[in-house]
Amino acid sequence: MAISTGLGNGSRGRRSYPGAVSDINVTPFVDVLLVVLVIFMMTSHVMEFGIEVDVPAVRTTRESFKELPIVTVTRDGELYLGENRVNINELGEVVKNKYGAGQAVYLRADKQTIYDPIAQVLAALGDAGVAVNMVTKPDEGPRRR
């Protein structure tokens, strides 16, 4: 006596899966894209400033993300407006013409920079009628209230 499997088409030992899905699973692809997006977002923030400057740390209560014109003074006393190098004698006029008087400007300076170039920048921007904000990074130590 033999047992019938009900297949009846002579498929000895082979199984048939009716309605098998042959689509591509896109979940791993989406996962990889999200990881790449996160990495891109993190590195784009790091690449915001192309000039290497080690700013001093201070204790703050909140962070500011308002976009303003940035003047950078390097450790060697070189001066940049955005990513373009400028002369101290032209700085006030360039900022005034490009952004207008009364515009606030961020001043980034390396903490090892001697004070003379910073004082010259402050004087030039003050003569141009521009408000100056100093850029610092938050201190990682314990906070006081």
| pLDDT by residue, tens only, the chain of 145 residues | 555 555 555 555 566 666 666 788 889 999 999 999 998 887 776 665 566 777 777 776 565 554 568 899 988 888 998 888 999 999 888 888 887 777 788 899 888 888 898 899 999 888 888 888 888 777 776 655 5
Residues ≥6 apart with Cβ < 8 Å to 109: 53, 55, 72, 73, 117, 118, 134, 135
| CATH code of the domain made up of 57-138 | 3.30.420.270
How buried is 96 (Cβ within 10 angstroms: 0-12 exposed, 13-18 middle, 19+ buried)?
Answer: middle
Domain ranges in the chain are 57-138
